[in-house]
Amino acid sequence: MEWFWYIVIYSFLGYLLERMFAKATGAAQQVRKCFLFLPLCPVYGLGMAAFLALADPVGSPWWLLALQGGAVSTAVEFMAHLFYDKALHVRFWDYSGTPGNLGGRICLPFSLVWSGLAAWAAVYLHPVAAALVEPIPPGATYAMLLVLAADAVISGDILLRHRDTELLSIRAVARRLRGEES
């Protein structure tokens, strides 16, 4: 059950990172998440969980963690983009204008960023996350799993129906239901 919480924690931290990045760069798309209600970017949670499952942060040299973290995170990012594109017909990100990109799905500059972030998180952040997750009772896990599943189903339905990632906010859905332009 701790792996579920690791995915949730790192998805939330990824959401915060995306918000900071959007603010810092003045990005047109300020809402960068994949759920309607929950502030989560699952690609971060899945990427970090996959990295932690494959790597051994204890005693590993920094360069090896960075190499593994970048490779695993980039692979997860590619697969998530492919899923969003093919299954839900949406794109949450597009690196087409970035040098070293592969179909707009991944790019070298962000792969390098994921390398450093993953290594740093494995060494410094994950011990804190593990300590936070340990005392969570099973009932809380099941409740969060139900909330997450419900949000995923509703969000997936909105994306499939409208193919518009900008609708993943309560205000946008309300405007759409009232017949107003987004």
DSSP string, 78-129: HHHHHHIIIII---S---TTSTTEETTTEEHHHHHHHHHHHHHIIIIIHHHH
pLDDT digits (tens, 9 = 90+) for 55-96: 988 889 999 999 999 999 999 999 999 999 999 999 999 999
The percent of residues above 90 in pLDDT, for the chain, comes to 77
- The whole-chain average pLDDT of the chain stands at 92
pTM: 0.92
Q: pLDDT (tens digit, 9 = 90+) per residue, 130-150?
A: 999 999 999 999 999 999 999
pLDDT at 182 over 60: no
Give residue 161's pLDDT band: very low, low, confident or very high (50, 70, 90): very high
Inter-residue contact 118 to 51 (CB < 8 Å):
yes
What's residue 32's pLDDT? 63
